[in-house]
Structure 1
Amino acid sequence: MASKANTLLCLPPEILIRILSSEVLQDVDVCNASKACESLCQICCCNEIWKAKFQRRWQSGLSTDKASLPPGGWLELFKVRKTIFQQVQKLVKTLAAKNYHREEVSNESFHDFLQLGELHERGLAFVLEDLHDILECDRYKRLTDKYYSKKAVYFLNHRRLEEEWTSFLSLSQEQQSMEKGAVMVSDWMRPLQRVSLSGVSRQLDDIADQVRAALKLKSTDHPACFKDNSHTGFVENLWTVDQCREVLLTLNSVLFEQLGFKGNHANYYLPENSFIDEVLEQKKGIPITMSIVYASVARRLGVVVEAVNFPKHFLLRWKEHPMATGVDQYTFVDAFNNGKFHSHKSCRSELLDFSDVFGEDIFYPTTLAKLFERSARNLVSIARAFADSDDHIRLLRDGVALYLAISPHDRDMKMLQTRIFIHLRINLKDVIEYLQTLPPREGIPSLIHECEKQLLMNQTPPEEPTPKHRADFTMVKFSVGMVMKHKRYDYMCVIYGWDFECQASSEWILQMGVNRLENKHRQPFYNVLVPDGSNRYAAEENLLYTRDVCTIGHAEVGKFFEEYTGRHYIPNPYKAKEYPDDTPVTKTLIDNFFTSGE
């Protein structure tokens, strides 16, 4: 038996802790070392070791405050965190297995992720971190995992933000932050961007600093130059009327002239105009987001400007004439048009149609709840206006859900959401439950019956498609996973299915001019994904090999493919089961093409 002098135990405990904390040793190595003897086991349970392992592996920014740790300290936290990591990987695989044959994933499919998030007070954040790690790993691999991870991120982020909206709206108007709400809108609609309030606030702080510097050049004794004002906790302007006006004029100069912010007149209906982080990056926005930027910076400089839900526009107002009465007290600011100042009379004459008849209430301030309702409604309108775009359903679905997170009892939006779910054949239990609360007016009973019928179909395991073996279809020239170019329309695409001859209806054949093709409908036809988001059905004679191979930016690529090799796509197990011979055929065809020199 070796003496203690020849073992690790001869080293001081602090040296052993440094060794065991090394990045060279994984958590399993430390666990194995702990089995050697009781003394080493005690050292291996040291908080310092597991704190190092945790922070090195996950980089989660978890507070080191003891209050944030479970009773077992860092070792117990590491165990919980690793359990969550392992289960997330399994659940993502399960999503693919259960939903491959479905058009969309129902909310109930994500409930296991929610339960996993309950293992720790920050469990949901850990789950989201693991899902984001999947999305950000090797760009060309784990495409199916990425496809379902993205859907899980949307669902879980919305659940998290629903609670945040409830908390936000329960605050008094004075406690609510315009920029906080704007960040939640952006985060809701684009959870993959991981927009942070701290990042947006820093950008607004920087603009305020630039305004402060410019103000100091013009008025060295202006109080806003010397006090880095908190932008919370006050409801009235901090300065005199003249001083406030000077602040706003300087803000206009810096924001619109020096920094180049402007209303996006040319591309008004882009969804990005509604996202505060995009507006700060691109320096373009619509009236609401431009007003949020303007008001947030003004508040940092001690000037209160209130939001006004003006018809067909959005304005701000500040109290320039406190001795006047009613709306005459206020000057109105059009942040969409370079911060132009208006009286209420010029607002009517310049911003409203001659035929418009409105009372004075159009000049009253709005609540932040109403402001963000309008922002969500704008996004819904954009989605409806661009119904031909590839992501309009996602935009419409998320915009409606955002509106309902802010105003959950709006019947029109709730009914629109119900129809979206019916169209996608998802969340049907929730749909039925909601429809049963409505009066049995015309159409409701039939909708309930339709949902119950579809729900029963969803609960029945889908029939496995009959595998297509190439030996039975020797006339088929191309194969699943090949990246091709369309001869006539010049688009790139990837093949995800094929038929030995056209299986479309005779009406479609006539409409698409298939009868004018050389081989007409009696040739193989291929299901292809196109970068514009469309799924098309292409004749074999129209598909060409190409050396200009590229990834296909279609949302459903990950549903069917596991990996992109740089020349072709590799089907995932579910697609490979449908076309069991195509994977090796694709590799052979592509390799032969690239080595042929053609």
Structure 2
Amino acid sequence: MPLPELPLDVYTQIFSQLPVSAANDGSISLARCSQANSLLREAACQSTLWDVHYRARYRHPAQAFSDSEGQDLPEDARLRYISRRRLDCTALHLLERIVSCVGDRCNTMKELVALSFDVWDALEIERTQPLPVMFQQPGQDLNTLVAPHAFPRRYWAGVALDLIAKSYATRLWRRLGEDPAAVSFEDAMAALSCFCGKSPLEMQSMFDDLASRCRAKLQADGCELNTADAACDVARICTGICDFMRSEGFGPADGTDFRRVHHHFAHFYLTTHRQTIPLSLVHVFVAIGTRLGLQASPVDFPYRVIAHVSHPSPTVDDIFVDVFGSDTRAILDPREDVARRCIAVGVHPDEIPQFIAPRRATPLILRSARNIVSSEFEDTVSPRSLIRTAVHVTKCVVTLVSEQMVDPTGFLLGTDTIQFDCATYISGIIAPALPAPRNRHLALMCDHRIRTARDEDSVVTMRTSSDRTVLYFVGMIFQHARYNYTGVIIGWNSTCDATESWIQQMGVDQLPRGRHQPFYNIYDVFGQQRYVAEDNIAVNADPHPSIQALIDQVPSLGMYFEDADIGEDEEGQTKARLLLSPEYQKKYPEDGHFGNAWMAD
């Protein structure tokens, strides 16, 4: 006997209780219900039910940051969700091709990155999927279902997200170079964080949250925010913003911390490095002030960057704010304080007006680039990977924004520049912005880098064809016999493949077997890549903490490996290896079997 049907509004109420998350659990159930009978279909297809699932999965509006013109998404939330999910499926198919090394990876990555922020949320979900048990942090659910090749998928999803963010940033700075009025100071500065894989929406959200809480605090203190009124107390609002920032932990960095490279990236000085430099504090002040209705701008002041706020009344002086020194005095007198500071650093009185004028983004983003160059040599604390990223950002900014002509080829294409950088934003965005013949030269060098990487990726290294016995294998966790650090092998040569100068500098010929023995490319647990002789390789007796340290310190580990295996030898000594990713199974097809035998021995 069939069950009686319930009224439509009852089904609607039931469906509204389905779980809402980015993981799609509730939306999948809703989709299945829409394939049932006509009454369930009518209930499950209601746009209001789908809207919450859409907003839970998609934080980035479709084409929110894209310059391309595309079809508008349907107004109906269900159809909008379906349209975005189709794009997600396209992105995940491309990601699978990259992970599995199918076809031309550079062109596949280029196609994936071209989908831009429309697929950012889907790739972000991939980057947070569960890892195999051996890679999980303590306390995680060991029964979680793990997708095939989860670790490589995480890595390559992260690479795609980085390239999408870099493409957005370079496109933004390209517009800035073409039209200084086209890009705001806030956006130009926040885009620096895109080279650390951050979405611009993340920066915007943090600024929005700060401004919302600042507004609430000012209103609670009785401060009127009628910023369009000629009688508005702009100075009080500016002082209130500075007070709010200090209450939130923003303030001046000092000592050796002043030169930390973190101070140039908004995602750091909005979170962990709020004690920061003048330019970054002004960036935060301008972002908050603009949201409160102030006409706030930076001033490229020679002493230190300050903020300029226009007063709505033409008869009242504009406001100059020293955000960095606001704990002693926030508001500067333009005739006394500002002029005195200019003269103190050698500015002629007749030139003062040009130094205190509100500025657009261009001179400030270039000033940030100069500061980064200084930090490169003076910052001895920050991770070298972050410093390298910061230097590459500087090169992109200078190439796109500066009026000074530079040869971008050797400037941009450093040793850390991967082929996917060349295939996406360097050849597709930076090169076309340059005048001839620099544009053609850069494009040709990018093509050369891509072809070289493609040739290297096609090399297959066989143990059985080596002219000497290779004792160890890709994936082995080892301990350096002389220096005692732990690492993992990521490649090998049957003999030393380094330059003669390196061989002499490292004393290779003083080793028992000299240069005529296998050498191994390795990553140590500190994230450093090294080249180690077989004489110096020993089995690691305590590999458990080493695996987690490698995951934490080697961001590219997922390119090489996908899981781990730990066992014991006949004497009860622990030994471990990392299992090869699909890419490295193809590059070293015999090492997996050799590793199996070594573990079973």
Q: Is the 8 A contact 2:263 2:276 kept in 1?
A: yes
Match of 2:274 in 1: 283
Alpha-carbon distance change, 268 to 137 in structure 1, aligned in 2, over 3 angstroms: same
Contact 1:204 1:293 in 2 (8 A): no
- Letter of the structure 2 residue corresponding to residue 557 of structure 1: L
Q: Which residue of 2 aligns with 1:596?
A: none
In the alignment, what sits opposite 2:74? Answer: 70
Kept after mapping to 2: 8 A contact 1:21/1:52: no
Pairing 1:495–2:485 present:
no
SS at match of 2:503: helix
For the aligned residue pairs, the C-alpha RMSD in angstroms reads: 5.1
What corresponds to 2:253 in structure 1? 263
1:309 aligns with 2:300: yes
Deviations 1:13-72 (A, max 9, x none): 4555566777598777777777776x4685476335972794498364879xxx98527x
1:551 has 2:539 as partner: no
Unaligned runs of 5+ in 1: 1-5, 118-123, 217-224, 593-598
Q: Distance in 2 between matches of 1:169 and 1:497?
A: 43
Task: Give SS of 2:459's match.
Answer: coil
Report the secondary structure of 1:562's partner residue. Answer: strand
Query: What residue number does 2:284 align with?
Result: 293
2:160 aligned partner:
152
Counterpart CA distance in 2 for 1:391 and 1:153 is: 17
Q: Aligned partners of 2:212 and 2:434: how far apart in 1?
A: 50
* Equivalence for 2:561: 561
* CA drift at 1:128: 0.5
**Matched residue, 1:536:** 530
CA distance in 2, matches of 1:230, 1:579: 68
Could you tell me how far 1:578 is from its partner in structure 2? 2.8
- After superposition, where does 1:50-199 map in structure 2 within 5 Å? 51=50, 54-55=53-54, 58=57, 60=59, 70=74, 73-96=76-99, 109-113=108-112, 117=115, 124-139=116-131, 140=135, 142-160=150-168, 179=186, 181-187=188-194, 189-191=196-198, 195-199=202-206
The verdict on how the C-alpha distance between 1:331 and 1:265 changes in structure 2, with shifts beyond 3 A counting, is farther
Opposite residue 517 of structure 1, the aligned amino acid is: L
- 2:384 counterpart SS class: coil
Q: 1:383, 1:393 within 8 Å by CA — same for their partners in 2?
A: no
Counterpart-to-counterpart distance in 1, 2:226 and 2:584: 57
Residues 429-466 of structure 1 deviation map (CA, whole Å, 9 limit, x = unaligned) = 66997599436xxxx79957974983794698667334
Do the aligned partners of 1:497 and 1:528 also contact (CA within 8 Å) in 2? yes
Preserved contact between residue 501 and residue 524 of structure 1 (Cα < 8 Å): yes
Q: Kindly state the Cα deviation for residue 562 of structure 1 after the two structures are TM-superposed.
A: 2.3
TM-score by length of 1: 0.71
Shift of 1:197: 1.6
- Three-state SS of the structure 1 residue aligned to 2:478 is strand
Match of 1:390 in 2: 385
Q: Choose 360-369 or 27-36, whichever is displaced more.
A: 27-36
Offset from partner CA, 1:521-579 (integer Å, 9 cap, x none): 34332110235554211123323414142332223322222235685422112211232
The code of the aligned residue for 2:558 comes to G
Change (3 A) 1:416 1:337: farther
Asked whether the 8 Å contact 2:33–2:44 carries over to 1, the reply is no
Query: Which of 200, 208, 221 pairs up with 2:207?
Result: 200
Q: CA deviation at 1:75?
A: 4.3
For the structure 1 residues 448 and 112, does the alpha-carbon distance in structure 2 shift closer, same or farther, using more than 3 Å as the test?
A: closer
Equivalent pairs, count: 540
SS in 2 for 1:313: coil
Amino acid aligned to 2:355: F
Render the CA deviation track for 1:350-391: whole Å, top value 9, x for unaligned: 4x2x69998224533232323543355246625864899335
1:495, distance to aligned residue in structure 2 (A): 0.8
Instruction: Say whether the 8 Å CA contact 2:491–2:520 is kept in structure 1.
Output: yes
Matching residue within 316, 320, 323 for 1:335: 323
Q: What is the alpha-carbon distance in structure 1 between the residues aligned to residue 241 and residue 340 of structure 2?
A: 22
What is the SS of the residue equivalent to 1:366? coil
Tell me how far apart the structure 2 counterparts of residues 260 and 432 of structure 1 sit (CA, whole Å): 35
Write the letter of the residue equivalent to 1:561.
F
Q: After alignment, is 359-368 or 427-436 more displaced? A: 427-436
8 A Cα contact 1:212 1:301, kept in partner: no
Paired residue for 1:120? none
Offset at residue 190 of structure 1 (A): 3.9
2:369 is aligned with 1:360 = no
User: For 1:87 and 1:454, how far apart are their aligned partners in 2?
Assistant: 29
Give the secondary structure class of the aligned counterpart of 1:267.
helix
Q: Is the 8 A contact 2:203 2:266 kept in 1?
A: no
Residue 516 in structure 1 maps to residue 510 in structure 2: yes
SS in 2 for 1:197: helix
Q: Report the Cα distance in structure 1 between the residues aligned to 2:306 and 2:275, rounded to whole angstroms.
A: 16
SS in 2 for 1:292: helix
Q: Which residue of 2 aligns with 1:580?
A: 589
Match of 2:342 among 314, 335, 348: 348
Tell me what 2:405 maps to.
412
Cα pair 1:144 1:558 within 8 Å, conserved: yes
Give the direction of change, closer, same or farther, for the CA distance of 1:131–1:210 in structure 2 (3 Å limit).
same
261-270 vs 375-384, which deviates more? Answer: 375-384
* 1:46 to 2:45 alignment: yes
Give the Cα separation in 2 of the matches to 1:355 and 1:186.
Answer: 33
Pairing 1:435-454 to 2, within 5 Å after superposition: 437-438=435-436, 447=441, 451=445, 454=448
Q: 1:69 to 1:299 in 2, by over 3 A?
A: closer
**SS of structure 2 residue aligned to 1:343:** helix
Query: Structure 1 residues 465 and 239, CA, compared in 2 at 3 Å: closer, same or farther?
Result: closer
Q: Distance in 2 between matches of 1:453 and 1:163?
A: 20
Contact 2:302/2:355 (8 A) holds in 1: no
Q: Is the 8 A contact 2:299 2:307 kept in 1?
A: yes
**Equivalent-residue separation in structure 1 for 2:125 and 2:462 (angstroms):** 36
Q: Give the Å deviation of 1:201.
A: 2.8
**Displacement, 1:515?**
1.9
Provide closer, same or farther for how the CA distance between residues 237 and 164 of structure 1 changes in structure 2, counting only shifts above 3 A. Answer: farther
Q: 1:310–1:363: 8 Å Cα contact kept in structure 2?
A: yes
Task: Summarize the Cα distance change of 1:292–1:264 in structure 2 as closer, same or farther, 3 Å threshold.
Answer: farther
Amino acid across the alignment from 1:279: Y
Deviations 1:323-362 (A, max 9, x none): 999xxx7785443345555723431354x2x699982245
CA distance change for structure 1 residues 572 and 57 in 2, over 3 Å: closer, same or farther? farther
Q: 1:7 to 1:256 in 2, by over 3 A?
A: closer
